Amino acid sequence: MTFSSFIENLTRPIIMGVLNITPDSFSDGGLFIDPDNAIKQAKKMIDEGADIIDVGGESSRPGALPVTLEEELRRIGPIITALKKETSVFISVDTYKPEAMKFALDHEVDVINDIKALVEKDSIKTVKDYPNSMVCLMHMQGTPETMQDNPHYATNITEEIKQFLLDRVDLCIAAGINKDRVILDPGFGFGKTFEDNWEIYQNLETIAELNTPLLIAMSRKSMLKKIVGDDLQRLDDATGFFSSMVNVKNPLIIRTHNVAVTRKYLERNI
C-alpha cells in the first residue's frame, strides 16, 4: 500500500514520529545518533501508534549549519535499511538534497519531507521519477542558519504562505508530479515570529483551500515554549492539545516527538 492510498482510507489524523539522527537538533539532538538507539526509539514510537517515522540526518533548527551529503547519508542510511527490514512502518526522510532524496527513494521510502519545497536543482525531477512516493513541500523564509534573524512579511502572512505553496504545487504539476502526491506544510517556526506562527495556526483553513493533505509540525517549538515553558512534559501536552484542535477537512499529518502523548490528545477529539 502506498502512503497516499493509506491517507485516503483514514478519517483520523496520521501520526508522524520524529527521529533525528543528528547531534544538534533543537529538542533531541544527540540522543539517537547511535543507530541502535535510533532503531530502538523508532520501534518505541511505532508501538505507541506512529503511522510513519520521519528520519532526518541534518538539523534544521534556527542557526543550524548544513552538513555534507556524505555525512547525511552516513547517518540516515543504516536507519532506513533497518526500518525497511525490521518493520512495516511508513518512512519519511527529511532532506532537501536531491542526491539524498534519490538514495531514500531507491530504498523505497514513502515520503520526501523537504523544508525547501523542492527548490534545489534536480529535486523536482528526482521526485517525479518515483511515482509511488509522496512529497511534503514546506514554507520557509530564509535558511535554517538565518531564518530567525528578524523575519518579516510584506503582506498578510497566511496569504503569502498560501501563494508560495500554490506556486510550488503548480510547478510540481507542470513537471509531471500529480497533485495527489503532494503534502503541504506551512512551516511553523521557519522564518516566523511568535505572532506569525499563531496567526498561521488560526488561519489554517486558508492553507487548507489548496486541497492537499496538511502536515502540522508544532512539536516542542518556540511558539509553544513561550506559552508553557521548557518542561518537556508540558511541551508535549501543548503539542498534543494544539495539534488536536486543528479543524480542517483535509487529511492531517501530525509530526511529533512524543507519539504516545499526541495520540492521547488526538483520540480525545475523534
**Catalytic positions:** 221, 255
Which residue reads 513541500 in cell numbers?
A: 137
Question: Cell numbers at residue 82, please?
Answer: 533497518
What values do phi and psi take at 198, rounded to 5?
A: -75, -30
3-state SS class at 228:
helix
**Bridge partners (DSSP) listed for residue 56:** 20, 94
Question: What's the CA gap between 109 and 112, in Å, rounded?
Answer: 8
Measured CA to CA, the distance from residue 128 to residue 135 in angstroms comes to 10
Comparing CA positions, the residue from 142, 134, 128, 130 lying closest to residue 114 is 134
118 in Cβ contact with 137 (< 8 Å)? yes
